[in-house]
Amino acid sequence: MYIIVEDDPSVADALESLLSGAGLPVRVFASAEDFIHSASLTPDDTMIVDLGLPGMSGGELVRHLEKAGATPKVIAISGKSSRTIARETEGLSDVKILRKPPAADWLEAITA
């Protein structure tokens, strides 16, 4: 299952179109809180999370999941500067970063 946590509805919808168009199972959440309240992860899941979420940030969500022992494959997306991204993902193990706007095919990057 591919889990998208993104507050911008257009970006979330476009990402969903891209993944589901390729026949992949997708669930979309608008916030970290929504996701925590209504879903849990299995080790096979891939989570695509916007670092700049309102409320609990993407970085905090990943940290929260790591603490809880769930370490899915995480792909962080962000439109911020590389310095900000580095700060926000500090201490997180093995997070792939995709920067907005996309410079390459994201489906390949996500499924790779």
Partner 1 sequence: MGELEDRRTAVSEARFESLLDTAADGIIVIDDTGRMLVFNKICERLFGYTAQEAIGQNVSLIMPPEFSTYHDRFMHNYHRTGERRIIGIGREVSGMHRDGTVFPLELSVGEAKTTDGRQYIGVLRDLRSRRAVEQRVSQLQAQVVHMTRLSAMDEMGAAMAHELNQPLTALLLYLQAVARQVKACHADAKPPSDKMLDVLDKAVLEAERASHIVQRMRQMVEKRDPERATVDLREVVNEALDLSEFVAQGATVTIRRVFGMAPIHVDADATQIQQIILNLLRNALEVAKESEERWVKVSIGSDDRSAFVSVTDSGPGFSEEVGKSLFRTFSTTKKSGMGLGLAISRAIAQNHGGDLMADPGGNGQGATFTLMLPMHRSDEAEDDTWG
Closest approach, Cβ 103 to partner 1, in A, equals: 9
Question: Which lies closer to partner 1 via its Cβ, residue 26 or residue 41?
Answer: 26
E strand or H helix at 36? helix 32-38
Tokens of 26: 């997708």
Closest approach, Cβ 80 to partner 1, in A, equals: 8
Residues that bind partner 1 (CB under 8 A): 8, 10-11, 13-15, 17-18, 21-22, 77, 79-80, 100-102, 105-107
Which phi and psi angles does 90 have, rounded to 5°?
-60, 135
Question: Which lies closer to partner 1 via its Cβ, residue 48 or residue 65?
Answer: 48
Name which of 56, 60, 55, 54 is nearest 89 in CA terms.
60
